Amino acid sequence: MKVRDSGMPEQEYWESLFNVELILDKMEIDQDINTLVEFGCGYGTFTLPSAKRISGNIIAIDIEDEMLNIASSRTVSKNNITFVKRDFIANGTGMPDNSVDYVMLFNILHHIKPLELLDEAYRILKSRGKAGLIHWNYDPSTPRGPSMDIRPKPIEIKEWVLEAGFKQMEYTYINLPPYHYGFVVHKQ
């Protein structure tokens, strides 16, 4: 099952909408991460630079063959990425409980049941593992992003995160210019 309103624009345009290095810095993607799972890798916009930052492996999951083919064709020298075709929304990630250090949920929480995604992230994270969540600003002037009626507000994401069992966080979100905001949350 695809996330609603999830059509991808042309790759070059898509990647122009993010300050990838800033996002990865602020989302705490670094050498302390041994296993990272990405929910919906798309073109590999965040996958490939993350592979250079972490100490271990990335499992990049997507439902679309085209996205997986493009992302995997872009890998040059890093052998620490495994691309997996899987409907993680309908069938989960297939990862064991308490097995990963970090989960990336980037631009995906406009799913009709975002709590299911957060529950799966929580399930596979180790104790004290992290989930990085980013989404489009709740602002109709952004040049892209889901329609405003399904675009989550930061307060909604905070409520979902707490409901999924993640550690209490302060209500400050991370500004990720030019068009995004994010949270880093921890499994208790």
pLDDT by residue (tens digit) across 40-49?
999 999 999 9
Rounded mean pLDDT, 31-36: 97
Name the more confident of 147 and 7: 147
Of 36-50, 104-118, 159-173, which gets the smallest average pLDDT?
Answer: 159-173
Q: Please check the confidence at residue 182 and state whether its pLDDT lies above 70.
A: yes
pLDDT value of position 89 = 87
- pLDDT of 171 strictly over 90: no
Distances (CA, A) of 13 to 10, 51, 94, 107: 6, 22, 32, 16
pLDDT tens-place string over residues 54-80: 999 999 999 999 999 999 998 766 679
What structural domains and CATH numbers belong to the chain?
A: 11-186 (3.40.50.150)
pLDDT of residue 46: 97
Residue 1 has pLDDT above 60, yes or no: no
Which pLDDT does position 167 carry in this prediction? Answer: 84
pLDDT in tens, 89-107: 889 999 999 999 999 999 9
- Residue type for position 98: N
φ, ψ of residue 147 in degrees (nearest 5)? -60, 155
Q: What is the mean pLDDT of residues 32-38?
A: 98
